[in-house]
């Protein structure tokens, strides 16, 4: 194997790590949100529309780190491998690990927020504007480490 | 290809950077999400305290965020300084 093969190997394994680990968090979180929305609708069918809307908004935010993982994986897969350096081997592996693992926490956390928001709206539908606002603020904070992971992964891919 | 000790040290530093930020992002993400989830629940039960709850949530999340920022700092140090 020459160096090009090693760099390709690292990029492809990195892409797998990024998308594989990165799918865990959003998957769990969005499922939790959906389960709470269903629970709420069962209890309060009158607010079904409000619950569906809140669930979808919350899930869209929880999905974001999954999309970052996809972007990092695609960047690694479709690189130009004509000029390679040894240091790209660890850098690509690390980029995949960083974005993949980093997507777990925000995905789960933001899903929990969306689920609780649905639960609360089902219990107290009049307060839904303030609950949605709190949900989005909380999710924005929980998103931050996902964005750090994306930044570090992009640094590892493009700056090294 | 020739790989010297210096290359390997640099390689290990970059792998360490990915591990640091990757694992380090899990905890704060989950923890801050739980805090926000409970804040939503409490506001649903007692909407008059929404201001107090939002403030408490943000303070708690800021503290929970700290380890994520440590991870970021260590990752950047490993990439650019070591």
Give the pLDDT mean for A20-43: 95
Give the pLDDT mean for B32-47: 93
Q: Contact A26/A104 with Cβ under 8 angstroms?
A: no
Q: How confident is the model at residue A101 (pLDDT cuts 50, 70, 90)?
A: very high
* CA-angle at A102, arms to A100 and A104, nearest 5°: 80
Render pLDDT for A105-128 as a digit per residue (tens, 0 to 9).
999 999 999 999 999 999 999 999
H/E segment holding residue A84:
none
Q: Mark out the alpha helices in chain B (DSSP H runs).
A: 5-24, 26-45, 50-80
| Nearest residue in chain A measured CA to CA from B54 | A134
Q: Is the ipTM of this complex over 0.85?
A: no
Helices A48-77, A3-43: axis angle to 10 degrees equals: 180
* Contact call for A121 and B44, based on CB within 8 A: yes
What local confidence, expressed as pLDDT, does residue B82 receive?
Answer: 79
Q: Contact A27/A106 with Cβ under 8 angstroms?
A: no
Render pLDDT for A123-141 as a digit per residue (tens, 0 to 9).
999 999 999 999 999 999 9
Complete domains list, chain A, with CATH: 3-159 (1.20.120.610)
Q: B77 CA to chain A: closest CA distance, Å?
A: 11
Q: Which residues of B50-70 are buried (b: 16+ CB within 10 A; e: fewer)?
A: beebbeebbebbeebbeebee
Render pLDDT for A45-55 as a digit per residue (tens, 0 to 9).
999 999 999 99
Domain ranges (residues) in chain B: 5-80
CATH of B5-80, one of 1.20.1070.10, 1.20.20.10, 3.40.640.10, 1.25.40.20: 1.20.20.10
What is the sign, positive or negative, of the torsion defined by CA atoms of A153, A159, B3, B8?
Answer: negative
Q: How confident is the model at residue B1 (pLDDT cuts 50, 70, 90)?
A: low
Rg (CA), chain B: 19
Give the pLDDT mean for A77-104: 95
What local confidence, expressed as pLDDT, does residue B42 receive?
Answer: 93
Chain A residues inside the 8 Å CB shell of B44 = 119-121, 123-124, 127, 131
Chain A residues inside the 8 Å CB shell of B76 = 152, 155
């Amino acid at each position: 194997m020459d160096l090009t093969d090693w760099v390709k190997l690292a990029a492809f394994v990195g892409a797998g790590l990024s998308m594989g680990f990165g799918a865990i968090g959003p998957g769990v979180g969005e499922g939790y949100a959906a389960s709470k929305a269903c629970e709420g609708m069962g209890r309060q069918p009158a607010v079904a529309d409000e619950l569906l809307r809140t669930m979808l908004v919350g899930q869209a935010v929880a999905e974001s780190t999954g999309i970052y993982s996809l972007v990092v994986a695609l960047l690694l897969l479709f690189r130009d491998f004509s000029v390679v350096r040894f240091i790209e081997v660890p850098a690509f592996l690390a980029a995949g690990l960083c974005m993949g693992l980093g997507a777990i926490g925000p995905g789960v956390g933001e899903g929990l927020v969306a689920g609780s928001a649905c639960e609360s709206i089902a219990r107290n539908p009049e307060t839904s504007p303030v609950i949605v606002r709190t949900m989005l603020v909380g999710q924005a904070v929980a998103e931050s480490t996902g964005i750090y992971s994306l930044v570090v992964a992009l640094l590892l891919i493009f700056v090294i | 290809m020739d790989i010297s000790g210096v290359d390997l040290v640099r390689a290990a530093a970059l792998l360490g950077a990915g591990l640091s930020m990757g694992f380090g992002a899990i905890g704060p993400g989950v923890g801050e999400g739980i805090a926000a989830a409970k804040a939503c629940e409490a506001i649903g039960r007692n909407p008059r305290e929404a201001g107090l709850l939002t403030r408490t949530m943000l303070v708690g999340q800021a503290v929970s965020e700290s380890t994520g920022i440590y991870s970021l700092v260590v990752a950047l140090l490993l990439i650019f300084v070591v």
